[in-house]
Structure 1
Amino acid sequence: LTHLWCDSLHVPLGFSPAMVSNMISSNLTSPHTTAMERNQGSKSACPPAVAHAAPPRCIPVLQQEPQKVVQQEERIPSYADPSMKEKEEKVCNAFSDVLLPVQDVDEGDADVPQLCSEYVKDIYMYLRQLEVRQPIRPNYMQGYEINERMRALLVNWLIQVHYRFLQVQPVSQHQLQLVGVTAMLIASKYEEMYAPEVADFVYISDNAFSKAEIWKMEVLMLKDLNFDLGRPLPLHFLRRASKAGSADVEKHTLAKYLMELTLMDYDMLHYQPSETAAAALCLSQLIIDGQQWSVMQEHYAGYSEDHLKPIMQHMTKNVVKVNEGLTKHVAVRNKYASSKLMRVSVLPQLWSPSLRNLAAPLLIGS
């Protein structure tokens, strides 16, 4: 109580306990004492301390509360804002183009309007944004009636004669082929100048579905995908990486083979298309002639070789599985065994022990 009242009366340092007690008693005599009376009482009861007075046994320490300085909080730009992130990326890319000793691979394309050299950097920046906006989550089929093996069977069948829809719309087992047929129809309309007729898809499914069923599924898929069909493909990024690395036709085609094998691999679907493309070309170069991932390729692809190593390991696993008969889904391998595609799936380098050793940790239990 003494400390509390001393604090409220702002007692100067050097007052003895007797002085403090007198001050407290004078304040407690009447709760209605006026401020002037209290001041007068304080003066009469508490004379100033003299220099030779004995030091007090207890000196209450008075601490003045620090003044709160109100500062205007500086607004930190949030990277949750897409526009801010895009601005930062453009600034970083602009500095990279100036500071890094990287050749402009588009400088010789100014006279070829089809190559859009003036806009190509912005186009690929936009494609990188699209792949982030439209991701495929790992294990997206967990809890659904269809499973990894059924999906691989469907993709294998489609190669002989896609997947975002399957992560937002549960599909029963008997509808899985209908989804594949309808996806092929939608892709044909989106990519081709002259899309096949619905009757053609009824035919390739051996009349398992009617036209009406395919049309109904088409409407359902487009609505669930919000008519957003523009997710970039690994092939779009592969062309860019091949150009940056001056890859020949054989390396480019082998990279395409490695990419298409990933369609069968459920564990690889969550990788972004640009990652898949970069890893495929990096592995293709190492397989054919040991060419390393160059600084220019890292710049234009956006990934270092260390970042791509886990993806390349999955790709070697897929190669070993089709080569050693560890999977029944060999449509991709058969496709790339043709002379039209340079028979890249039967290259002797794909049987090398180093490739087998790289894939070994992922082949346990296969």
Structure 2
Amino acid sequence: MNTRKQKHQTGFDVKKSKAAVSQIHHDSKIHISGFKRQGDNMADPNQKRRPAFGDITNSIIENKGLVKKGEGKQNIPVKAVVVNKPKQAKTKKHKKENLDDEVIQLSQGSVVSSSQESNSTSDLSDTEINEQSLTFTVEDTEPEINTPEGVDNIDRENLKDIAQVALYAPFIFNYYKERELKFMVPMYMDNQPTLTTNMRSILVDWLVEVQENFELNHETLYLAVKLVDTYLSKQIVTKELLQLVGATSLFLACKFDERCPPLIEDFLYICDDAYNRREFILLEISIFKTINYDIGMPLSYRFLRRYSKCARASMETLTLARFILEMSLMEYEFIKYRESKMACACLHLAQKMKKSGEWTSTLEFYTGYKNEDILPLMKELNKMIASPPKHLNTILSKYSHHVFYEVAKIKALSSSEFS
């Protein structure tokens, strides 16, 4: 039996999914089918592995057998040194002997080659070697990140963690906030003759289902929804092609955010083969041209992760904020707000629902928003989770699981709790 068919036999109930969609909107031709995570794009086990930087030749030669006896291992600064050796004929018999003559001593910040001193034809014979130019040391003093008095310096503790780029994090997110204005999406639905806000909600609910079962990053989901809205605000799309726009946007987002994106065939399968490969690729080109090839869009999810760190929020509070933010993806009315403001409102609403903190001067400093700036948006979000759509429950089911602390079961705030 075909491997792909075997793989998808244990997917969702196709008939059940189609019946649910038909009940929601009879005119919509969005076909939702079952799927499992792709496995066809695994690396070929017979393919020769090439480790990172393995073929770079201008690195320090291995000092196995080259270091003088008795020296042992030493804690020395990292160096990048290339020694140009004289070209001379070597025989296998004298190979080891020649290597011993060209011992490289990596100690005390010095580089010594006996063949360089003895051979006048060497490329370095007429050049004086400067020790300081070959040695790169890390200073003991740490760079400072200055913050106003009363503001928690959240990046100072991670300065030595190169993965968190703490020294540049404030500049990165300030840059994101500047680029937000470039990617603001207008209210476009009135210009779409065959689409409705309910169809968009169905599509986003389906994208969340795909993201979960393909085990994609949350950033991929948010980018896909952003691409859908951006494309629909600039191009007229019929309802028959709406699912193709969603699937293609998710595929494009996978290429940007995922290490191993699913195959086109996987996306065609989950669309119940309603489209072919050529249509998929042509729409991908169209979307990429429409966004002017600028796919590095600021996302509310990235802001939320940053701001939750600024608030030193617990994992449960962060998960509740993620649930609120993900629910807002289905609501068309929220596309008019800035991504950073959505993140702030969701985080502070989660804090109030969990009674886990207030909007401090630290959050004010890092986000640029005051409590009164986000309060109206918080009330809109609270109203949304107080009466969620009954027919679209993928996100509710997802965040009702114990893995997500069952945050979807937490009750919304009353109007008196906002005062």
Q: TM-score range by the shorter chain?
A: 0.5 to 0.7
Listed as ranges, the gaps of 5+ residues in structure 2 are 1-144, 211-224
More helix by share: 1
Task: Tell me how many residue pairs correspond in the alignment.
Answer: 256
Listed as ranges, the matches of 1:145-164 within 5 Å are: 145=193, 146-161=195-210, 162=225, 163-164=229-230
Q: Is the 1:278–1:301 Cα contact (8 Å) retained in structure 2? A: yes
Deviation track 1:104-158 (CA, whole Å, cap 9, x = no partner) reads 1111111101110111111111111111111112x22112121211111111111
Alignment partner of 1:346 is 2:409:
yes
Listed as ranges, the matches of 1:103-118 within 5 Å are: 103-118=152-167
Task: Give the whole-Å Cα distance in 2 for the aligned partners of 1:159 and 1:97.
Answer: 40
Larger Rg: 1
Listed as ranges, the gaps of 5+ residues in structure 1 are 1-95, 359-366
SS for the counterpart of 2:329 is: helix
Deviation at 1:101, TM superposition (A): 2.8
Match 2:372 to one of 272, 296, 306: 306
RCO higher in structure (CA 8 A, sep ≥6): 2
Task: Give the whole-Å Cα distance in 2 for the aligned partners of 1:273 and 1:141.
Answer: 20
Alignment partner of 1:173 is 2:236:
no
Deviation at 1:164, TM superposition (A): 1.1
Match 1:120 to one of 169, 172, 191: 169
- Runs (4+) off by over 4 Å: 96-100, 355-358
> Does the C-alpha gap of structure 1 residues 246 and 330 become closer, same or farther in structure 2, counting only changes over 3 Å?
same
Deviation at 1:355, TM superposition (A): 5.6
What letter corresponds to residue 165 of structure 2 in structure 1? C
> Does the C-alpha gap of structure 1 residues 267 and 97 become closer, same or farther in structure 2, counting only changes over 3 Å?
farther
Tell me the residue number matched to 1:144: 192
Q: Is the 2:399–2:408 Cα contact (8 Å) retained in structure 1? A: yes
SS for the counterpart of 2:190 is: coil
Q: Is the 1:320–1:356 Cα contact (8 Å) retained in structure 2? A: no
Task: Give the whole-Å Cα distance in 1 for the aligned partners of 2:354 and 2:150.
Answer: 27
Task: Give the whole-Å Cα distance in 2 for the aligned partners of 1:220 and 1:98.
Answer: 45
What letter corresponds to residue 141 of structure 1 in structure 2? M
Q: Is the 1:240–1:300 Cα contact (8 Å) retained in structure 2? A: no
What letter corresponds to residue 171 of structure 2 in structure 1? D
Deviation at 1:294, TM superposition (A): 1.0
> Does the C-alpha gap of structure 1 residues 249 and 355 become closer, same or farther in structure 2, counting only changes over 3 Å?
farther
SS for the counterpart of 1:217 is: helix
Alignment partner of 1:267 is 2:333:
yes
* TM, length-normalised to structure 1: 0.67
> Does the C-alpha gap of structure 1 residues 278 and 251 become closer, same or farther in structure 2, counting only changes over 3 Å?
same
Alignment partner of 1:245 is 2:323:
no
Deviation at 1:331, TM superposition (A): 1.5
Listed as ranges, the matches of 1:1-366 within 5 Å are: 99-137=148-186, 139-145=187-193, 146-161=195-210, 162=225, 163-289=229-355, 291-322=357-388, 326-347=389-410, 350-351=411-412, 354=414
Tell me the residue number matched to 1:64: none
Task: Give the whole-Å Cα distance in 2 for the aligned partners of 1:143 and 1:103.
Answer: 46
Q: Is the 2:303–2:343 Cα contact (8 Å) retained in structure 1? A: yes
Task: Give the whole-Å Cα distance in 2 for the aligned partners of 1:211 and 1:112.
Answer: 44
Percentage of pairs with the same residue: 30
Deviation at 1:249, TM superposition (A): 0.2
Give the root-mean-square deviation of aligned CA atoms.
1.8
